[in-house]
Structure 1
Amino acid sequence: MTLNLENEQNHELPSDCEETARQVIRQVLASENCPYEAEVNLTFVDNDEIHRLNREFRQIDRATDVLSFPMTDWESPANYSCLEDDETAAGSFNPETGELLLGDIVISVERANEQAKEYGHSLKREISFLIAHSMLHLLGYDHMVPEEAAVMEQKQEAILQALGITRDPEVRS
């Protein structure tokens, strides 16, 4: 698995942020039975930058916590059979490594900090949640209707529980 991580903001990240991101991504891929090695781009930004991206790509004029930019048009979530189609597969794999190009995750660390305080848990937990959430989007999941939202919520919680990343307010990393 390749993680391309960029930190384009000035807020402090948890000391083990990159390793935690790798663990969360691997756990999502395992829980979704991904048969491929994968490549993910993760960028940390501030509220101004995520606001700009949200306005540009979603026409929503406000900051948000995380944006997901999937590379594959999934027929159904984590249904890898669509990658057997030559047209879909052509742009879905890195020609140099053979890895599945899942897409980009952009997280506002500023917003993640605010939410961690609001929910009473660590920044590590909030960033882990946002990565798990976004990874599910990269695999074709959505939460536009209550049934889809319930599926995503259950999957996110199971992923974080499997890694022991809880809402424990005593862990402030």
Structure 2
Amino acid sequence: MSLVIRNLQRVIPIRRAPLRSKIEIVRRILGVQKFDLGIICVDNKNIQHINRIYRDRNVPTDVLSFPFHEHLKAGEFPQPDFPDDYNLGDIFLGVEYIFHQCKENEDYNDVLTVTATHGLCHLLGFTHGTEAEWQQMFQKEKAVLDELGRRTGTRLQPLTRGLFGGS
């Protein structure tokens, strides 16, 4: 099904083609390529607004995920009853926030891929509210990013504890 990437900000240039290419591979690795997925790139002002409304946190953040199937347990696949239910949900990337969090030796486009992968794991029921949940999510992200690296030649690492601002 479709992957829609929308850039609703003008602060940070976005190269959608490389992001699309990598996320399509991530979707195949996770086995969810038959599901629709939306990725929306926004600036600090808008991600902060969304974060305030939905998480009661009045700060910008890196990623917010809004699952279509809300009650999945970590790693469960949605079981759609109808064709319109083949939807994972939407991931909002705070691209301005992500850009400013990048270290000098990090490639911004790689960090976008890692952050979108983190958001995608949230859409599949993974969370990081406890140490055990964080470990489970970290291991899933690591496995996915390792496989992505095997397929593309990149070496990406999951978001580390304390570095993810939201989700």
TM-score tier, shorter chain, comes to 0.7 to 0.9
- Whichever residue aligns with residue 43 of structure 2, its letter is D
- In structure 2, C-alpha distance between the alignment counterparts of 1:67 and 1:147, rounded to whole Å: 21
2:51/2:64 contact within 8 Å kept: yes
| Superposition map of 1:1-173 within 5 A | 1-10=1-10, 11-14=12-15, 16-27=18-29, 29-30=30-31, 34=32, 37-80=34-77, 83=79, 89-90=80-81, 93-95=82-84, 100-117=86-103, 120-164=105-149, 165-167=154-156
TM-score, normalised relative to structure 2: 0.80
Following TM superposition, where does structure 1 have runs of at least 4 consecutive aligned residues deviating by more than 6 angstroms?
none
Gaps of 5+ in 2: 158-167
Instruction: Tell me by how many angstroms 1:17 deviates.
Output: 2.3
Q: CA deviation at 1:18?
A: 2.1
Distance apart, 1:25 and its partner CA: 2.7
Amino acid at match of 2:127: D
Unpaired runs of 5+ residues, structure 1, are 84-88, 169-173
In the superposition, the TM-score normalised over structure 1's length comes to 0.78
Q: Does the 8 Å contact 1:128/1:160 carry over to 2?
A: no
Pairwise CA distance, 1:74: 2.7
- Count of residues in Structure 1 that have an aligned counterpart in Structure 2: 151
CA RMSD of aligned residues (A): 2.2
* Greater mean alpha carbon deviation, residues 7-16 or residues 151-160: 7-16
Structure with max Cα Rg: 1
CA distance in 1 between counterparts of 2:53 and 2:75 reads: 27
